[in-house]
Amino acid sequence: MIKFLFYGILRDKNRSLLPIIIITIGVTLTILLSGFLKGIMGDIIDQNARFDTGHVKVMSRAYARDKDQLPNDLALLGVNEILDTLRSEFPKVQWVKRIRFGGLLDVPDSTGETRGQGPASGMALELFNRKSGEIERLNIESSLKQGLIPRKKGEAIIGSDFAEKLKIGIGDKVTYVGSTMNGSMTFMTFTISGTVKFGAASMDKGAIIIDISDAQQMLDMQDGAGELLGFLDEGVYDDEKAQQISHEFNQHYNDTADEFAPLMVPLRDQNNLASYLDYVDGFAALFVFVFVVAMSLVLWNTGLLGGLRRYQEYGIRLALGEDKGHIYRSMVLEAILIGAIGSVIGTIIGLLLTLYLQVYGIDIGSMMSNSTMMMPTVMRSRLTPSLFYLGFIPGLFAMVLGNMLSGIGIYKRETATLFKELEV
């Protein structure tokens, strides 16, 4: 039966070509837009995690309340002991120290007089510890526009746009002017070893990156850090796992009122990302549902047109004694075959287009030139395992539903009037 229907679909293109084309287009759009949506939203979450939030973040309670102000006077102390505890309790999470700071970057001329200044947003990382994975995590090496990553104390890299603004290059010296953890003034001179372009305006226009040991010395934060970031071993944020780890850690400090006690916060509870994560999941489901409904309506109309064209065929089959149920079931089975063919073709095309956008992406750098949001300037799709079967949901369901609705007319045919219809 299936073989018979399959040959019928191939030979009678008038009844199969239009539905297959519609399904192919619908499935292609479903996969492409779903992959693009996952890519964009996944990149935003990933970039926030790598540059700011981690998958989980440990801060002092006081620091957490005002973390947007980078209050290093409320930072964690004794971080090495805390890190030992974290690594023993959560060995599958990679932990790193970071210090974020802000101040003024002064550029002296040959006589030592100021020839340029600019506000700097500083980030101190474990650059000298290659096991920390920070260089790879922030793609510093691949983002280098000029020069090298700092290899010794007193070296720094800055954003490429920041370097152009201050008119400095590799080997030039700059002086950081700011305040220490204890509130006193601090001055420290750095040699520019490289410039980076991350593709995020907020970083490229004012960032200075140094090793954590230089920051601890400069800010009087020996054995201190503003934040301890944890990254799950899979490299991808898992909200359930991050929530569980945070809950287990925070239980140890529930009974203390010390405002400097450590507090672990998952990515979801930072930077207003909770609503964003809920939006991603909800929108993805809504997106597939809308496509199923839209395609069902289109294929319902296509099925009605096909049913009208095959009105005489059904009449002859009924007049010859074929059961209405058998005709209806063969019609549904035919719809499944057509839906499967269109879904396969649409899935292949959709996956190829998704792969293309994953590799090359869409550059929106010109639109983000004045943005301070932490988001990528190249929008890419993401090829995930779910895309290999996602298109079959609207492809098969819509086609079958459309034909089932249009095929109800078969049961309304009266055998007594068939010969009169056929005579006409």
Question: How much is the pLDDT for 372?
Answer: 45
Cα(275)–Cα(207) distance, rounded to whole angstroms?
A: 28
pLDDT (tens digit per residue) in 316-344: 666 676 777 777 777 778 778 888 888 89
Ranges of residues in the chain whose predicted pLDDT is under 70: 1-15, 200, 280-281, 284, 288, 292, 295-296, 299-319, 321, 363-378, 406, 409-424
The two tokens of residue 420 are 């009169």
- Give the model's pLDDT for residue 310: 63
Residue-wise DSSP of 225-257: ESEEEEEETTSS--HHHHHHHHHHHHHTTTT--
Is the pTM for the entire model greater than 0.75?
A: no
As a residue count, the chain comes to: 424
pLDDT of residue 423: 54
Per-residue burial over 99-110, b = 16 or more CB atoms within 10 Å of its CB, e = otherwise? bbbebebbbeee
Confidence at residue 96, expressed as pLDDT on a 0 to 100 scale: 93
pLDDT value, residue 373: 47
Chain segment 336-393, per-residue pLDDT in tens: 888 888 889 999 999 999 998 888 877 665 655 554 444 556 677 878 888 888 888 7
